[in-house]
Amino acid sequence: MIDERTSGILLHPTSLPGSFGVGDLGANAFLFVDWLIGAGQTYWQVLPMGETGPGNSPYMSSSAFAGSVLMIDLHELAHQGWLTDEDLIPHPEFRHDRVDYGLANQFRLERLRRAAKHFFSNANESVLSDYSEFCMAEREWLKDYALFKTILEQQQGRSWNTWPQPLANREIEALRKLEVESVEQINFWKFTQWCYYRQWKRLKQYANEHGIRLIGDVPIFVAYQSADVWAHPELFELDEMGAPTVVAGVPPDYFSATGQLWGNPLYRWEEHEETHFSWWVRRLHHALRNYDRVRVDHFRGFAGYWEVPASETTAMNGCWMPGPGDKLFLAFKKAFVELPIIAEDLGVITPDVAELRDKFELPGMRILQFAFAEDNSNHFLPHNYIANTIAYTGTHDNDTMLGWWNHASEHEINFVKQYLGREVIDVPWDMMAALSGSVANTVIFPMQDVLCLSSEYRMNLPGSAEHNWEWRFSWDQVQPWQTIKLSKMTRMNDRSQSCPAGC
């Protein structure tokens, strides 16, 4: 449950400014925390922080536990003496406003390999000890991740169920041989995760010390081409060859007339129950060590999920199947003192979904862009909110607020004017003000809305395969008036963070 009035910003670190093609955990992340403080905010919400998958989606990572190597701050590695000044010369084709994932990935991996070589050749005893302690503490997932990434490279990216059978089936002797023959590659992938989590811990500590809390994002499903499915095939609906029999998606909805075919393998929930949901408990424990709250994506899938045969090309011909429901969350309650979980309860919400959310007092989500298509009874209108709610102008899947307005129907435009009781002068800020003044205890604004950006700056268009997850901002877009106005609006609506001692 959320019982304090707060405000925050949704911005993925890849959208931060920076010299190396994609935002990272370096100086600009700390500057963004400083900006949040100046704007009177309490929360910084991010998207999943794992490696990007097909279509550059952070929701299709190669591991449910690993951090994205693209976000490792190269300047910090140079400060450690593992990179040279020449290594920090940006590629001439990097853009400040969009991410070229292929180019950024190649550039950064080359430098990470150089850094790893210097580290393992020259690191002092104290630093090596810290690395070893990390590897030991995270061994439950780190070893499988490093093995998976090593084999994936050696097999040139082929699907894991097409690898040589001893490796695909994780035969002990085959993995032992790999660990001997490919020790340098395996250690490289462990090194990258140590770098990522060391830097993330430092950023989180800085944010928390200055009153900023971090909201992470836990996708309900994992990618098929992942260390998780390879290491734990018994937990997923796979055939005898290791291929998915059914996959995840959602039926036709607001975003797509044919539904969304995500393609993730579905869970064998009965197997998870047999182990008292130990994999899920480990996953949530990992998330709650790295974030102050977590948004669980597609929460409705825990009550019931849309199952689509793996042979289908759209999500239309699926069916609803029962999820684990109470059993999973009772396992969470047994494992954790509290559940700082945000339920992403969007889409087709049936009574059982609301009942599961409310039984465990989890805040749900309200999206203002969904509010004006009908009448005053609409669930997403601010006067229909309850306090235990996270309200957004839009999420990463929505258009920007200005883009939405530019494409809104005549009915929606008139309804907005009627609802606000006046002409709309500045669409994003008028809508943010309507949310901020609502009873919802937490409101979150995408950074694009603070900057009054139009549709071409949206983060993701569901159902489209290209040009998603690429948007970046630059500091010259952030004007003093925006910071002052956001801070004033936050204070007026009693949402300002309380400054910790000494800040």
Please check the confidence at residue 250 and state whether its pLDDT lies above 60. yes
pLDDT of residue 501: 36
* Per-residue model confidence as pLDDT tens digits over 194-222: 999 999 999 999 999 999 999 999 999 99
Residue 182 lies in a domain: no
Q: Does residue 77 lie within any of the structural domains?
A: no
Among this protein's residues, is 344 annotated catalytic? yes
Contact present, 400 and 449 (Cβ < 8 Å): yes
Among 144, 217, 344, 470, the active-site one is 344
Instruction: Answer yes or no: 73 catalytic.
Output: no
Residue with tokens 């001893």: 166
Which of the residues 100, 307, 397, 430 is marked catalytic? 397
Q: Has residue 446 been placed in a domain?
A: no
pLDDT digits (tens, 9 = 90+) for 26-78: 999 999 999 999 999 999 999 999 999 989 999 999 999 999 999 999 999 99
Looking at residue 225, its pLDDT comes to: 97
Which residue is it, tokens 């920076």? 18
Average pLDDT over residues 375-398: 97
Return the beta strands (E) in 311-435 as ranges.
319-322, 341-343, 364-367, 389-392
Q: Which is catalytic among the residues 297, 345, 449, 470?
A: 297
The residue range of the domain holding 274 is 232-361
Mean pLDDT value of segment 487-498: 90
- CA 92 to centroid of chain Cα atoms: 29
Kindly state whether residue 343 falls inside one of the protein's structural domains.
Answer: yes
Q: What mean pLDDT value characterizes the chain?
A: 96
pLDDT digits (tens, 9 = 90+) for 92-119: 999 999 999 999 999 999 999 999 999 9
pLDDT of residue 191: 98
Domain total in the chain: 1
**Sign of CA pseudo-dihedral 179, 160, 288, 116:** positive
Sheet holding 364-367, edge to edge: 341-343, 293-296, 213-218, 43-45, 6-10, 442-446, 389-392, 364-367
Q: Is 276 left (phi over 0), alpha (psi -120 to 50) or beta?
A: left
Question: Would 312 be classed as within a structural domain?
Answer: yes
> Is 228 a residue of the active site?
no
Q: Give the Cα separation of 374 and 382 in Å (integer).
A: 14
Long-range Cβ contacts of 197-204 (<8 Å, 24+ apart):
197/67, 197/134, 197/138, 197/290, 198/130, 198/134, 199/25, 199/26, 199/72, 199/73, 199/76, 200/25, 200/49, 200/67, 200/290, 203/25, 203/29, 203/30, 203/33, 204/290, 204/291
Tens of pLDDT, residues 150-198: 999 999 999 999 999 999 999 999 999 999 999 999 999 999 999 999 9
Q: Is residue 107 one of the residues assigned to a domain?
A: no
Instruction: Tell me: pLDDT of 500 over 50.
Output: no
